[in-house]
Amino acid sequence: MQTTSIDNIISKVIRDTRIPDSSYISDMHEWIPEAMGLLRTNVELVPAYKSVKISYHVGELPCGLLDLEAVEYCGFRLRYYTGVRAPQKLPTSETTVSENWTTEATTTDMPSGPVLDLKVVQAAALDPSNAYRIYLGHIQTTFADGEVTLYYKHYLTDDRGLPLIPDHGDYKEALYWWVRAKMIQSGWDDPVYGHDDRISMERFEKYAARAISDITYPSVDQKEAALVGSLHFVPPVDYYDSFFHTQLPEPPYMEGSQPNFVKLNTVTLNNGETSA
């Protein structure tokens, strides 16, 4: 399904309400993700990497980052700093008499340029004297200046870092009426509905039910896969006829491996036949 930015919802609300107060726009950035949760929107995580410049031990994290997988610095993988003091140069196994720590010569198999396979980064040698940590939406490193490469997973965003939503008519209408209802609940005098948010909430529930039933309905491929999986619980037509027959040749019975049968007493009948 195609996606679009939430700016389309915000611009439509502004056109219809003619709000002169721009402070509501920042509130809409909070209300729309709240409605997305009510609409059971699944966030798709996409792997990505980005080079971040470190200045005075601090670098800015990219927008949409949800799961940071690894951090690369000069061909080495940085370890996560778990100390309680402010990050500084970590000690190594070999030091000098001076107060400064010295590093050992370490080799790494990290290829040059961007790495597409995350396993290569995670298997790289650890930097013996540097580390990082995440603090207040920023990455903080033990070295003062430099450049690191972040390997992470993020949700899809637009150019402004705002989350993308499904380009679905009922879905967008549900978000639109949710925003208008929230504006009324916050004290906004709606030019059409005044301070009554019941109509806006009713329309949100109406379009939300349509969007959920349409978006979450399985596709043709998903239904076919589910049908194929359910057929494994139904035996074939000749299942009971061929239950004791195998397609592979049965191995011959070897002497000594035959089962012990009990020999029954036979009785001779008048016509000469025998019966057990």
Q: What is the mean pLDDT of residues 4-28?
A: 88
pLDDT tens, position by position, 115-146:
556 777 777 888 888 889 888 888 989 888 99
Pairwise pLDDT comparison (182 vs 115), residue with the higher score:
182
Find all residues with CB under 8 Å of 140, minimum gap 6, and list them: 57, 58, 59, 81, 87, 132, 133, 134
Position 158 scores a pLDDT of 78
The amino acid that residue 114 corresponds to is P
Q: Flag whether pLDDT at 269 surpasses 80.
A: no
Pairwise pLDDT comparison (204 vs 272), residue with the higher score:
204
Geometric angle at alpha carbon 145, from 141 and 150, rounded to 5°: 55
Position 106 scores a pLDDT of 45
* Residue indicated by tokens 């005044």: 194
- Ordered by start, the domain boundaries in the chain are 3-39+160-215, 45-90+106-155
pLDDT tens, position by position, 46-105:
788 889 999 988 999 887 787 888 898 888 888 888 776 655 554 444 433 334 434 444
**For every residue of the chain, which 3-state class applies, written as one string?**
CCEEECHHHHHHHHHHHCCCCCHHHHHHHHHHHHHHHHCCCCCCEEEEEEEEEEECCEEECCCCEEEEEEEEECCEEEEECCCCCCCCCCCCCCECCCCCECCCCCCCCCCCCCCCCHHHHHCCCEEEEEEEEEECCEEEECCCCEEEEEEEEEECECCCCCEEEECCHHHHHHHHHHHHHHHHHCCCCECCCECCCHHHHHHHHHHHHHHHHHHCCCCHHHHHHHHHHHHCCCCCCCCCCCCCCCCCCCCCCCCCCCCCCCCCCCEECCCCCEEC
172 confidence band (pLDDT: 50, 70, 90): very high
In angstroms, the first-to-last Cα distance of the chain is 75
pTM for the full predicted model? 0.51
Position 215 scores a pLDDT of 72
As a whole number, the mean pLDDT across the chain is 75
